Amino acid sequence: MAAQRLSMRKIKEVLRQKWVLGRTHREIAESVGVGAGVVGKLAQKSEAARLDWAQVEALTDEQLEERLYGKRVAAGTARPLPDPAYIHAERSKPGVTLELLHLEYLEQHPEGYHYSQFCEVYRRWLKKRRLSMRQVHRAGEKLFVDFSGKKPTIVDPATGEVTQVELFVAALGASSYTYVEATRSQQLADWIGAHVRTFEYLGGATRDVVSDQLRSGVSVPCRYEPGIQRTYEEMARHYDTTVLPARPGKPRDKAKVEVAVLLAQRWILARLRQRTFFSLGELNDAIAELLDELNGRTMRVYQASRRELFERLDRPALRPLPSSRFECGEWATARVNIDYHLDYEGHYYSVHYTHAHEQVDVRATATTVEIFQDRMRLTSHVRSYERGRHTTKPEHMPKAHQQHLEWTPSRFVRWASEIGPQTKRLVELILADRPHPEQGYRSCLGILRLSKRYGPA
């Protein structure tokens, strides 16, 4: 009874602040320590009971309870039990508290359990559930991701070689809605691509992504301050989410996906064990069929499927996807040479000549090379896979080379003539072969430096 009397005192304080002090529902909720939804429900019930503050102040706790919720049933009379599975699912919605759910329960069953007994029924139910269920996950809050330890295989149709591939698994916190796909590896491009396809499968992004501290996602493993891999962090910003690496050796931090991995192994991999797949696409088509079935199965505890819970809980709370799909890019550092070009995988890309000799960051995708310095983008180029060739923007070149008079074609020819006539002839041919002479400076320097190592002769 003490817990119930305390609850009645809270109700009186809520009504006092509303009617006497004229405070907003949010202000009352923060002051009394209840949810704003509870304040709204109490206000509605009080108005329905035609109460005012003078009446409430004069009533005892028992009288106020009777006016709000009706007469108590006699001792020993069977009362309708609250539905713990429904309570647990509703708690995942933003702003929903046990107090609010108790008020809604009493609206349907005025003779029902008091708040303390209502909570005890729910707590006893929770104790019998596994760890991943006992944690309360808010709708749209977290996506848990991991790779399965057990791996599917594909067979090369030409050679018959069997190759193990990875199984990526993702699960939403509130609904346990699951996504599964096979990837070539755990490398960065496959890791990022699996995330992108997961968000597209869900039709939105969660507030947080909880991952293991594998190398593709975490560049500096640490229990307290892990360093997020740069491309992974960039992807998170693109989808307006945050990466939260789980602590090493703490599977309970990602218990939701641990359970999802087991389900994927038992309900997908195990059912495909007798089948042979000759490509990754063929394997993923089979996985998609079984995944649809997995998400549609009714869960015994909730008496609802993952898809039903997803539509009810997570989907309305997901953040919208950006207008463009994230394109995975690899980062590297490079130094701009005297010819204001930098080397990325054997091809030379220009920046403005004023950045010669400076260090820059390079972000390369399958189609584009972007060049940054201090997080500011200097320029971008269409990616070329021709080794030894140059990609040059005219606006990057110095006008008449006024800023680089010390580096001229004639100077390179003069240096080469000091070594010998054949060296001079080679340098002239290199400079003449380039659309812009300065594009040959790097090659000429390399040749001239050979004289320092082997001598002019």
The answer to whether position 262 is within a domain reads yes
Mean pLDDT, all residues of the chain = 82
| Higher pLDDT, residue 69 or 131 | 69
- Phi-psi map region of 106: left, alpha, beta (phi>0 left; psi -120 to 50 alpha): alpha
Confidence band of 226 (pLDDT split at 50, 70, 90) = low
Which of these three, 384, 400, 416, is where a domain ends?
Answer: 400
d(CA 440, CA 432): 9
Within 8 A by CB and 6+ apart from 90, the residues are 96, 101
pTM: 0.58
**Contact (Cβ atoms closer than 8 angstroms) between residue 167 and residue 182:** yes
CATH no. for residue 161? 3.30.420.10
Q: What is the pLDDT of residue 224?
A: 46
Residues 417 and 379 grouped into a single domain:
no
pLDDT band at 350 (very low <50, low <70, confident <90, very high): very high
Confirm whether 146 is domain-assigned: yes
Number of domains present in the structure of the chain: 4
- The verdict on 168 and 233 lying in the same domain is yes
At which residue do the structure tokens 């945050």 appear? 242
Our measurement of the distance from residue 437's CA atom to the centroid of its chain's CA atoms, rounded to an integer in Å, reads: 48
Tell me: the pLDDT tens digits for 255-273? Answer: 777 888 988 988 898 889 8
Bridge partners, residue 333, by sequence: 361
| Distance of alpha carbon 146 from alpha carbon 287, whole angstroms | 16
Q: Indicate whether 452 and 383 sit together in one domain.
A: no
Residue 306 has pLDDT above 80, yes or no: yes
pLDDT (average), residues 214-230: 63
Higher pLDDT pick, 222 / 450: 450
Identify the pLDDT of residue 433.
81
Q: Is residue 351 situated within a structural domain?
A: yes
Within a domain: 438: yes
Q: What is the pLDDT of residue 136?
A: 66
Same domain, 169 and 189: yes
Quote the strand ranges of 141-224, DSSP E: 142-147, 153-155, 162-164, 166-172, 178-183, 208-211, 218-220
In a domain, 211, yes or no: yes
Same domain, 101 and 233: no
Element holding 350 (H helix, E strand): strand 347-350
pLDDT score of 321 = 95
Residue among 203, 143, 138, 206 nearest 172 (CA): 143
Q: Percent of the chain at pLDDT above 90? A: 29
How many helices (H) and strands (E) the chain has is answered by: 19, 18
Q: Report whether pLDDT(324) > 80.
A: yes
Residues 6+ apart with CB under 8 A from 121: 81, 82, 84, 113
322 in a structural domain: no
Distance CA 438, CA 412 (A): 10
CB 248 within 8 A of CB 241: no
Extract the tokens encoding 456: 């002019």
What single DSSP character describes residue 269? I
Q: Are residues 153 and 242 in the same domain?
A: yes
Please report the pLDDT score of residue 403 as a whole number.
Answer: 45
Token pair for 22: 């004229």
Judgement on whether residues 362 and 426 belong to the same structural domain of the protein: no
CA 295 to chain centre: 21
Strand, helix or coil for residue 305: strand
Q: In this model, does residue 15 exceed pLDDT 80?
A: yes
Rounded mean pLDDT, 56-77: 69
- Which range, 97-101, 117-121, 374-378, 393-397, is most confident? 374-378
Task: Enter the tokens of residue 275.
Answer: 């089948």
Residues 303, 201, single domain; the answer is yes
Which pLDDT belongs to residue 402? 44
Same domain as 199, residue 155: yes
Question: Which residues lie below 8 Å from residue 115, measured CB to CB, with a gap of 6+?
Answer: 3, 4, 7, 98, 99, 102
CA dihedral sign, ordered 306, 311, 315, 317: negative
Looking at the chain, the whole-number percentage of residues with pLDDT higher than 70 is 86
For the ranges 18-22, 109-113, 146-150, the maximum mean pLDDT occurs at 146-150
CA distance linking residue 140 with residue 157, whole number of Å: 42
Which domain, by its residues, includes 374? 329-400
Q: Are residues 313 and 214 in the same domain?
A: yes
DSSP classification of residue 354: G
pLDDT at 6: 41
Q: Pick the residue with more confidence: 409 or 219?
A: 409
Span 332-353, average pLDDT: 91
Mean pLDDT on 227-252: 80
Most confident of 194-208, 329-343, 356-370, 394-408: 194-208
What is the rounded distance in angstroms from the CA atom of residue 7 to the CA atom of residue 425?
97
- Band (pLDDT 50/70/90 cuts) for residue 135 is low
Same domain, 209 and 79: no
Higher pLDDT, 239 or 259: 239
Q: What number is the average pLDDT over the span 215-227?
A: 58
What's the pLDDT band for 5 if we cut at 50, 70, 90?
Answer: very low
Q: Based on the fold, state whether residues 209 and 120 are members of the same structural domain.
A: no
Of 403 and 312, the one with more pLDDT? 312
Main-chain dihedrals φ then ψ at residue 163, nearest 5 degrees: -120, 130
> Which of these three, 128, 150, 172, is where a domain ends?
128
Name the more confident of 388 and 69: 388
Residue 391 tokens, joined? 């990609």
Q: Of 31-40, 76-85, 170-179, 365-374, which gets the smallest average pLDDT? A: 76-85
Name the domain boundary from 128, 156, 173: 128
Q: What digits encode the pLDDT tens for the residues 399-422? A: 755 444 456 777 788 888 888 888
pLDDT at 45: 80
Residue 434, in any domain of the structure? yes
CA–CA gap between residue 106 and residue 87 (Å, rounded):
13
* Residue 323 domain flag: no
